[in-house]
Amino acid sequence: MLAALRRARILEEVRRSGGARVTHLTTLLGVSDMTVRRDLEVLDRQGLLAKVHGGATAMETASAIEPGFEITSQRELREKEVIAARAATLVHPGMAVAITAGSTTWTLARHLFDVADLTVVTNSLKVAEVLHAQQRRDLTVVLTGGLRTPSDGLVGPIAVQAIRSLHVDLVFMGVQGVDERAGLTTPNLLEAETNRAFVDSTRRLVVLADHTKWGKVALAHIAPLSAVSTIITDDRLSSEAAEVLADQVAEVIVIPTGDDEG
């Protein structure tokens, strides 16, 4: 089978199912896993699908599509890990921090186990599960309540009311898109409102966003880049994007991944 036809078949399968594993594609096409992996890399570079650990997922091209947690948690694993590890160094004993919903912020929660006397406010069921599993007496987890989103976040009036009554030292926020003009965006209108309440609850907003978030614009606006105190990203971000961020964000932290495959 010609490469172009093979890649078209892969793209058709990924779009039909929402995702596909390498093992399934090798059986479907009758080729080696190395051939499939190379095809996935080409299609990922072309922006036609998203290459993840063990396979690929469909690319969301519509601004109102919100991918579920199971999909986002498999993307850019190395980038999320190094970003989360660096973000955790900003948290000190005795702090009260807020963590919004998202797969990168969920990764951050797993790096906070050694921080003493910590209070975490979150609208993420996944973050709350990770922290509650520690069963620590010196860890307080405040879950906002609200309506559940595909990314397992709690949003809407109940969440907003809870957040607006609090003041925290830091907010760690994950977003769907980061853009020079549109700023921080999300596909979910209620999540945007909830995240704006988080922005208002702190003097220091820390955004965790790997390189794939740059240039994406989702449906709902959260905040301009100028509202961000610190953005933590990875070294696969383009130099042009880094320059734009440096002009508008007080602190830009770029973390080496040490892994060209991401």
Pick from 116-120, 171-175, 233-237, 257-261: least confident = 257-261
Q: What is the mean pLDDT of residues 234-247?
A: 94
Q: What is the mean pLDDT of residues 81-85?
A: 96
Q: At 244, is the secondary structure helix, strand, or coil?
A: helix
Please report the pLDDT score of residue 1 as a whole number. Answer: 62
User: pLDDT grade, residue 73 (50/70/90)?
Assistant: low
63 pLDDT above the threshold of 90: no
Q: In this predicted model, what pLDDT tens digit does every residue of 104-155 receive, in sequence order?
A: 999 999 999 999 999 999 999 999 999 999 889 999 999 999 999 878 899 9
Please report the pLDDT score of residue 85 as a whole number. Answer: 97
Please report the pLDDT score of residue 261 as a whole number. Answer: 43
Please report the pLDDT score of residue 178 as a whole number. Answer: 95
d(CA 137, CA 29): 54
State how beta strands 19-21 and 55-58 pair: antiparallel
What pTM was estimated for this model as a whole? 0.75
Q: Which of 2-6, 65-69, 159-163 holds the top average pLDDT?
A: 159-163
